[in-house]
Structure 1
């Protein structure tokens, strides 16, 4: 006996074709008014962010500043978590996501430093609290890196130096370098690390600066002077500055491959940050406190004999031997204004016009804030604009002092054609 249709069992007549059409139309109408499914899952939080159920103790600010209320990040903030390979249009965005002084290369390296997975670590000789780490960029193939491939990765520019929390000033220095159009510092970001490959002191929640590792920095073979690309004493340096414009630098002169304008960039940059280690590591240009390393290491006593004074961290890249590279830029944010080191400017008779124009514009603080907003970790850990502003005011005051120095000494400006 064949199974009966439902309407026959219940004594009903079969539905007419017109009724079926009406029912089908009603069903399609109901489906059309359902809310659409999301095209993709919501974005994951940054890898460096702690889980919501974990509480972390906020680290102390490294620059001796009072913690201010955190300022919300603007909508135009660069999203580090986005996949790599986006075009300039994405990086800039309709509202100007990244400022024009940061190049595509800068942004790519900053993203690698901020989001790259740590795949290896190496101690840096004579720098006990500095680690060199290999980084795997987003989208790179997974897998365990062999020692050979780790070294090859650094040669390909996929490594960074993790420095001390108190060196966070190097991140601000990088943005100052780009805002002024000097373009001699290596990309740097602030980051909190969670990798199991790193010691606990590197994963305890404190933000640390990560500096891009330039694979082709040129070092002297002398083990006692390997932090230089060329050996240059203070007296030789001054003689080289004085001869500029009068006669060409002889090829056998130390650092003869470095263009004259490079020293002007370096002096301007170091004065604003009060970095003494390059041009005045002996603290000859001011009266140091007894706790200063130059006093503890008895370097200050050598100021009596200028022939013993040498320059340090004078570095170039093998691919660009005519341009300086600025490293170790954690200057002195709290250096008192009455002790500013004018020796850093000695012998310099001109400065790059673009940098000087930026200092004169009165917009240095606002431009730095615009640039620093890209670094979410630094921005939030320092209390946003409110927390960063004391540092920026200090740099701005030094800029006004420098402008006054240029005016009083009738110094000139040169067109800076090198980026």
Structure 2
């Protein structure tokens, strides 16, 4: 019987398939289209029947994000157990995090009330000082300024002293602008460098002094709290300039001294004086100034005369390079015309000045490049001396009184706006050797990484230059000049030798 039922059910289907095959292709296509349309209509009706409107309670639960598996809300006791379980995330469920209202604490009798902190009064500057854009003084001898309340005294006509007893120097004693987040500072900084940087950036200002100089801008010096005597006592008390530890304030645009200090340490030259950026509430409209450590050993004579310098012309300088004066500690001949400076010091100076394009030492008359209108050497008579280049007097060749063999790089005003086609190659003239440690930093492509790590320590300088974006622009300029210097070394066959003296 089962076999007959199968044949009876199969017979109509077989008959339909035979008739379908005998039809023309157009009729077949029409039949298939009608079947698809009927199937689609059936699906639409079925979906519409399944999607019935929800009740008002379910809609409210849906908007609140409440979904229950059985349709009924669980008991209150079950909510605590469900809160501790992790519910799997569904794509059509919106989870809302509700912030519970914080309950007020119970007022318990007999509790101890905390001690109220005393309000610390902020020391303010005298209004006459705040109004000044730049720090200026009246240099009349023997007269005190009654309007500002500053005590003015001059000793020997070379020193102006201001005793400021109450003012705000803009520093916060709780925080330091020298940020070292690791256990140690970068290896190119010595422990002495870190101490001096922290002093210059964070020390409390006790006094402000102005030192007039001959044929130069006067120096503005601040005296800070004693920081464990960072330099020897005999240098501190010289000329009665600074009884403790002091710093020179330069409120110039760009803070080039700070960048020069970090570049010097990264290259391993160690010839510049530590410098940081600092903000003073009574100077430069509260903008960042560069502060350089005051080194009394550079001023053994009258302060107005300036630091100890080596007097020599361009011809004498080139002759000392040829003679290799004091190389390997060999005493030069009496008639050689050598100065007291080691031969390797000139190589370090030339490399440093070329990267920063500092021309005020080896090329003070701007004979090696096309000067701009704002450069000092464009003044009448300054650039004309290039016709007699051999007799041009070098400038800012400074050394310490107790160390005549090594140079000290001061007044490091670098120029970042000199194009690659207008670089001063006169700074490299006569140089046959360069320090290996500095050149290796340039060749190993480590200059950017080290400069970023180094400059990040000085938070005030980092922010004054526009953060990472501004610092990268400065490093881009130095990297391009470093590549040009490496090409120059290969083209002229300059030797790269260790210089540890």
| TM-score, normalized by the shorter chain, greater than 0.5 | yes
SS in 2 for 1:211: strand
User: Which among 238, 250, 257 is matched to residue 170 of structure 1?
Assistant: 257
For 1:190, the equivalent position in structure 2 comes to 277
Which secondary structure does the structure 2 equivalent of 1:394 belong to? helix
Query: Partner residue of 1:290?
Result: 373
CA deviations over 1:307-332 (Å, ceiling 9, x no partner): 43011011111222111000000211
* Alignment of 1:208 onto 2:289: yes
| Offset, 1:107 | 0.8
Higher relative contact order (CA 8 A, sep 6+): 1
CA distance in 1, matches of 2:399, 2:336: 16
CA deviation string 1:364-408 (max 9, x = no partner): 011001001110101122222112110011001101111110010
1:239 and 2:319 are equivalent in the alignment: yes
Following superposition, the deviation at residue 250 of structure 1 comes to: 3.7
Displacement of 1:122: 1.9
Counterpart-to-counterpart distance in 2, 1:388 and 1:119: 32
Report how far residue 292 of structure 1 moved: 2.1
Deviation at 1:238, TM superposition (A): 0.3
CA apart distance, 1:416? 2.0
Check whether the contact 2:180–2:457 (CA below 8 A) recurs between aligned residues: no
2:490 corresponds, among 385, 396, 407, to 407
Matched position secondary structure for 1:209: strand
Return the alpha-carbon distance in structure 2 between the equivalents of residues 384 and 294 of structure 1.
33
Give 3-state SS (helix, strand or coil) of 2:483's partner.
helix
Deviation, structure 1 residue 151 = 5.6
Q: Which residue of 1 aligns with 2:450?
A: 367
Tell me the residue number matched to 1:358.
441
Q: Does the aligned pair in 2 maintain the 1:167–1:330 contact within 8 Å?
A: no
Equivalent-residue separation in structure 2 for 1:265 and 1:294 (angstroms):
24
Aligned match of 1:63 = none
Deviations 1:161-204 (A, max 9, x none): 1012315011000000000000000000000013xxxxx4x152
Q: Residue 327 in 1 paired to residue 410 in 2?
A: yes
| Cα distance in 1 between the residues matched to 2:238 and 2:280 | 19
Point out the more displaced range, 102-111 or 243-252: 243-252
Q: How far apart, in 1, do the equivalents of 2:183 and 2:443 lie?
A: 24
1:132 aligned to which of 216, 221, 227 = 221
1:194-246 Cα distance to aligned partner (Å, 9 max, x none): 3xxxxx4x1521100001111101568898x8555221110000011012179
Give unpaired runs (5+ residues) of structure 2: 1-113, 123-132, 134-171, 230-235
What is the rounded CA distance, in whole Å, between the counterparts of 2:303 and 2:276 in structure 1? 31
1:217 alignment counterpart: 298
Cα offsets for 1:265-296 (capped at 9, x unmatched): 00000000000000000001012223321111
* TM-aligned CA distance change 1:260 to 1:155, over 3 Å: farther
Q: Is the 8 A contact 1:230 1:254 kept in 2?
A: no
Q: Pick closer, same or farther for the CA change 1:398–1:308 going to 2, 3 Å.
A: same
Q: Distance in 2 between matches of 1:232 and 1:220?
A: 20
- How many Å separate the matches in 1 of 2:301 and 2:316? 18
Structure 2 distance, partners of 1:205, 1:333, is 25
Contact 1:230–1:255, Cα closer than 8 Å, also in 2: no
Match of 1:339 among 411, 422, 425: 422
Aligned length: 329
Question: What is the TM-score of this pair, normalised by structure 2?
Answer: 0.59
Residues 1:209 and 1:275: Cα distance change in structure 2 (over 3 Å): same
TM-score if structure 1 supplies the norm length? Answer: 0.70
Cα gap change, 1:186 to 1:139, in 2 (>3 Å): closer
Match of 2:185 among 98, 112, 121: 98
Measured in 1, the distance between the counterparts of 2:272 and 2:204 equals 23
Kindly indicate whether the alpha-carbon contact (under 8 Å) linking 1:216 and 1:318 is maintained by their aligned counterparts in 2: yes
Are the equivalent residues in 2 in contact too, given 1:165–1:206 (CA < 8 A)? Answer: no
Structure 1 spans left out of the alignment, 5+ residues: 1-36, 48-58, 60-79, 85-90, 141-147, 195-199
Equivalent residue number for residue 88 of structure 1: none
2:332–2:338 Cα contact (<8 Å) kept: no
Distance in 2, Cα, partners of 1:345 & 1:139: 41
Is 1:119–2:206 an aligned residue pair? Answer: yes
Shift of residue 124, structure 1, vs aligned partner? 3.7
Looking at structure 1, the residues matched to 493 and 350 of structure 2 have their Cα atoms a distance apart, in angstroms, of 17
- The equivalent of 2:62 in structure 1 is none
Partners of 1:132 and 1:253 lie apart in 2 by: 41
Alpha carbons 2:323, 2:338 under 8 Å: kept:
no
Query: Which whole-Å CA distance do the structure 2 matches of 1:404 and 1:416 have between them?
Result: 21
Please give the secondary structure, in 2, of the residue aligned with 1:162.
strand
In the superposition, relative to structure 1, how do residues 123 and 306 fare at CA in structure 2: closer, same or farther (>3 Å)? same
Task: Find the counterpart in structure 2 of residue 272 from structure 1.
Answer: 355
Say if 1:177 and 1:183, in contact at 8 Å, map to a contact too: yes
